[in-house]
């Protein structure tokens, strides 16, 4: 628990440094591109169009899910995925890739995955903003339920950090962890209700197991906020408690592992 508290303190005390590093990383990532930061939005937009064409237009036709056209249903859920997938993949490599830059500095290493995630979060905010405008034009106007969108976006950030705090530590110790993370994320993507609705298509007990996937809760939360106009936090209070418990558990385990190996990172690298 002491390690957990120390990690939280490091994040709070380094808040402004995390923001500066995140903006600097965005400039580095896009310095050779003519469109610059715009690629943070354009790349997922192209993938969204591809998924809509294949799964919406090609396979599902003009089908609706919960009385919502498939393309809007898909856009609301997959917007979360593009952020959290990139955040976890890049955050998991943060300590291993950036350690040499800060090895001789008095630098809190838990900040390394944080600023990578924060950089991806800026792109996520811009993408969600564009999707909201598309929904407004299509007749899905702003409502009071947008308040919970802030909650789900913050929760997606915390989930990404809780996972990468652990995986970025383990990646330094065992390089294969990065490949495992990538494979697990691919599996969880297709097991989540991001591209398809599994309601009524499989036994109920299997559906209940799949609901334990944290990406299920986040994807449905985004849809409830943007399209369905319902308080998903309250309607699915059991899942709300479960997912917060999962995040806290991962933070505690990740904090313990981080502090256990922190002083030995140089040996592993």
Render pLDDT for 185-239 as a digit per residue (tens, 0 to 9). 988 888 888 877 766 667 777 778 888 899 999 999 999 999 888 899 999 999 9
**Position of tokens 């859920």?**
77
Contact 64, 70 (CB under 8 A): yes
Residue 64 bridge partners (DSSP): 69
**pLDDT grade for 269, boundaries at 50, 70 and 90:** low
Query: Rounded distance, CA 85 to CA 189, Å?
Result: 9
Residue spans per domain, the chain: 24-268
**pLDDT grade for 253, boundaries at 50, 70 and 90:** very high
Higher per-residue pLDDT: 25 or 221: 221
Element (H, E) at 69: strand 68-69
Give this prediction's pTM: 0.88
CA 46 to chain centre: 19
Question: Average pLDDT of 98-112?
Answer: 75
pLDDT computed for residue 267 by the predictor: 66
């Amino acid at each position: 628990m002491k390690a957990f508290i120390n990690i939280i303190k490091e994040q709070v005390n380094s808040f402004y440094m995390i923001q500066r590093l995140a903006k600097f990383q965005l400039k580095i990532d896009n310095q050779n591109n003519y469109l610059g930061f715009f690629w943070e939005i354009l790349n997922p937009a192209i993938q969204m169009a591809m998924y809509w064409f294949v799964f919406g237009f090609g396979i599902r036709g003009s089908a609706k899910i919960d009385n919502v056209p498939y393309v809007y249903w898909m856009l609301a859920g997959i917007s979360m995925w593009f952020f959290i997938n990139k955040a976890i993949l890049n955050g998991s490599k943060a300590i291993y890739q950036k350690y040499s830059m800060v090895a001789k500095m008095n630098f809190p290493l838990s900040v390394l995955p944080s600023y990578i995630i924060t950089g991806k979060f800026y792109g996520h905010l811009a993408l969600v903003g564009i999707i909201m405008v598309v929904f407004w034009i299509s007749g899905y106007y702003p409502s009071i339920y947008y308040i919970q969108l802030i909650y789900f976006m913050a929760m997606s950030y915390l989930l990404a950090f809780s996972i990468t705090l652990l995986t970025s530590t383990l990646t330094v110790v065992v390089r294969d962890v990065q490949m495992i993370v990538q494979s697990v994320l691919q599996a969880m993507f297709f097991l989540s209700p991001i591209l398809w609705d599994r309601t009524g298509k499989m036994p109920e007990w299997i559906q209940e197991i799949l609901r334990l996937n944290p990406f299920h809760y986040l994807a449905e939360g985004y849809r409830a906020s943007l399209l369905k106009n319902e308080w998903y936090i309250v309607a699915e209070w059991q899942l709300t408690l479960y997912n917060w418990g999962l995040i806290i558990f991962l933070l505690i385990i990740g904090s313990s592992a981080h502090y256990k190996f922190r002083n030995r990172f140089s040996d592993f690298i």
